[in-house]
Amino acid sequence: MQWIAVTVERLRHQNFEQVDWANLIEEIEDIGKRERRSLKSNLIVLLLHLLKWPYQPTQSTGSWAGSIVEHRRRIEEALKDSPSLKPYLEQIFAEAYQDALKQAAAEIMLDIKTLPSECEFALTQVIEEGFLPSNRAA
């Protein structure tokens, strides 16, 4: 943290010749990677609960609903803070669904072929406040 404080101070004072550019570039790249990992993780959890929702109606509790709200909020905040992440969210949507699909099959102990191989919801629905799958199959 000391290095960051020193670097920020040097940048503020336009002391560019004393900035450790190689490490600064690496740090910025790492921040971008962390943001993308966090966004993907939140999307997977959101998709997981939306995927499980119609298959385990007795398990679809306030806890799940709360998790859905929480992960939507996290995604919304990430996109508000970094609008440049929106294309990335669209890019990883199908991959995140596949990760959620595998985890959902394991958690609800169903053959993965029982679950939809492709997401039945649009990304806009997934992140839309209040959206929940209504078709409850068992």
How far is C-alpha 25 from the chain's CA centre?
24
Q: Record the tokens describing residue 47, joined without a space.
A: 């998709």
| C-alpha to C-alpha distances, 81 to 41, 51, 78, 131, nearest whole angstrom | 17, 27, 5, 23
Question: How many Å apart are CA 77 and CA 52, to the nearest integer?
Answer: 24
pLDDT profile of the chain (138 residues), mean per 10 = 85 88 86 92 95 74 84 96 94 97 89 88 93 66
Q: Which residue matches tokens 């959902």?
A: 104
- pLDDT score for 52: 87
Q: 56: Cβ–Cβ under 8 A, 6 or more apart, which residues?
A: 108
Q: Which residue matches tokens 């508000």?
A: 80
- pLDDT score for 136: 46
- pLDDT score for 61: 65
Question: How many Å apart are CA 109 and CA 55, to the nearest integer?
Answer: 11
In terms of pTM, does the model score above 0.85? no
